[in-house]
Homo-oligomer: A and B are copies of this chain.
């Protein structure tokens, strides 16, 4: 069985990605990153999702990006925007995807896995630069130059299977693969029991996605 490292945030998208990787026959090593985000509900969800979807192993790696701040997700002095805003929103965490992919790359090399999956999306998304297709392609190129695997001709592939899907399509795909979305947490400021605010960008995208997909949304929104 081919091995893959799957970045798992505990949200809706990455749960679907794990299910996709499993459906393609990969032995999946789930990786979550505790980067100093506002809440732990998402990381608690990632553990449940990894178990439920048959990951071989689940690791949580800690790195304190709150030491730098600069984002509503890592600095409690910056409020999470509750309305749509122009441009790249305050919830953008500088270099987050690059850091998470780099950590995934480290584990992939040690496991001798040739595949890394992650759940970025460039359709129903918050406009983060590190979710765009050209970014994913550049990281794949880098990965093959950065590693012993790449030098020795064992190609590393970065898979972003949700890249061109709408949120509704992602939800339908996940349901079709047996993902229990009630385990997942998307909200940028969920409380400790995983209740969602219902107002942030991530909640808005999630709620609208279920509606368009015509699938019941069991998320517990506060508003």
Contacts and interface: CB of A to CB of B under 8 A. Distances in A.
B110 A102 contact: no
Nearest to A75: B110
A97 interface: yes
A83 interface: no
A40 interface: no
Q: Interface residues of A: mostly helix, strand, loop or mixed?
A: helix
A60 to B, nearest CB: 9
A43 interface: no
A63 interface: yes
Given A62-B62, A103-B95, A150 B129 contact: yes
A92 interface: yes
9 contacts: A68-B107, A70-B109, A70-B110, A95-B106, A98-B105, A102-B102, A129-B146, A135-B142, A135-B146
Closest 5 CB pairs of A and B: A70-B110, A94-B109, A95-B106, A95-B105, A98-B102
